Amino acid sequence: MFFEGSEKKATIIIDPRQLSLLNDFTDDFWHQLVQCADAQILSSISNKNCKAFVLSESSLFIWHDRLLIITCGNTRLVRSVEYFIQQVGKDKIEQVLYQRKNEYFAEAQASTFHDDVQLLSQYVNGATHRFGKLDNHHHYVFHQDDSLHKTSSSHNDSNLTKNKNFQASANDKTYGLSVYQMGKKASDAFTTADISAQQIRTFLQLDTLLDDFLVDDFVFDPFGYSINAIKGSDYLTIHVTPQENGSYVSIESSINLIKLTPIFLSILKPKSFGLLCFNEFDFNGLIEKYIPKKHITNTMGNKQLSNNYLVCFAHYSC
């Protein structure tokens, strides 16, 4: 049985002077938003800074000034982004970022990245980028680019968001680790019948790594695992698709995953892995310090986006 683990991701940043996503919206709104992507909310945890939902396909995180939603499978995440823009209003949105990793079976998806960008472009002016080689693992990124406002205004489209000139803070950092084709020991562990969430946390050493985080996790039937962890404004989320014909583990966090990469590699023993980080200005130094030299670099690069995010990408063979 195959399940598409490759994920789509959207981050939407709003003007916190106008509203709070934590305080001004009920759970019914978030349920509806998730349903637009053909997914469901399964459970949630919260503190005063963040609320995290485990979804039937990945996760949703809410802070006062932004949301992060990640979905996998055949979901249509772009529809949730459209719903949010329509319901909240363009004037309250400062930045939209939309990411999509290449799929194992792209032909089974309801849309392509190009289709999604066409839909988003009805609401926001944007620029697109690809990180990684086209014939290997890669990520597409679409982000709101208000410098394009004057060009787009010639179309006289009243739906387009107005020029806000958003610039990300240097402290707005995110780290993504993608692991492909995990080793037999890890694959066997994740496909063990009736394995518990506690057993998976122990196998991944999460009780040690996340000892002061509030956690919420779910084991899927017949296979698959998701966990959300929050502490203050920090978050970490892991999603595991263990099926042998396309095993995939994604880890995303506001804490420095490059430092933790050797631990996850020693546990999962994959055939390859990739890192995609936003605003980690010492990316090369951290790579040099923490990524074992035995791994072969396939791709490495970075790009400064017009919204002031520095995006760094690297992919390795093990």
pLDDT tens track for 208-217: 999 899 999 9
- Edge-to-edge order in the sheet of strand 126-131: 41-46, 50-55, 58-63, 66-71, 8-14, 93-101, 139-144, 126-131
List, in order, residues 6 or more apart from 80 with CB less than 8 Å away.
10, 33, 34, 36, 37, 69, 71
Q: How confident is the model at residue 137 (pLDDT cuts 50, 70, 90)?
A: confident
% of the chain residues with pLDDT over 70: 90
Least confident of 109-118, 223-232, 261-270: 109-118
Distance CA 133, CA 274 (A): 12
Q: Which residue has the higher pLDDT, 235 or 147?
A: 235
- Edge-to-edge order in the sheet of strand 296-304: 214-219, 225-231, 234-241, 248-253, 174-180, 272-278, 310-317, 296-304
pLDDT above 50: residue 163? no
Q: Which residue has the higher pLDDT, 136 or 159?
A: 136
pLDDT at residue number 302: 95
pLDDT at residue number 150: 46
Distance CA 94, CA 163 (A): 9
pLDDT at residue number 139: 86
pLDDT above 90: residue 240? yes
Q: How confident is the model at residue 222 (pLDDT cuts 50, 70, 90)?
A: confident
Burial per residue of 263-288, b for 16 or more beta-carbon CB atoms within 10 angstroms, e otherwise: ebbebbbbebbbbbbbbbeebeebbe
pLDDT above 80: residue 160? no
pLDDT at residue number 91: 93
pLDDT above 90: residue 110? no
pLDDT above 70: residue 181? yes
Q: Encode pLDDT of 60-106 as tens digits.
A: 999 999 999 999 777 899 999 999 999 999 999 999 999 987 656 56
- Per-residue tokens: 189: 């562990």
Average pLDDT for residues 25-53, to the nearest whole number?
A: 97
Q: How confident is the model at residue 37 (pLDDT cuts 50, 70, 90)?
A: very high
% of the chain residues with pLDDT over 90: 76
pLDDT above 50: residue 115? yes
pLDDT above 60: residue 258? yes
What mean pLDDT is reported for the chain? 90
pLDDT at residue number 82: 97
Grouping H, G, I as helix, E, B as strand and the rest as coil, residue 112 is coil
pLDDT at residue number 104: 60
pLDDT above 90: residue 176? yes
Average pLDDT for residues 181-201, to the nearest whole number?
A: 93
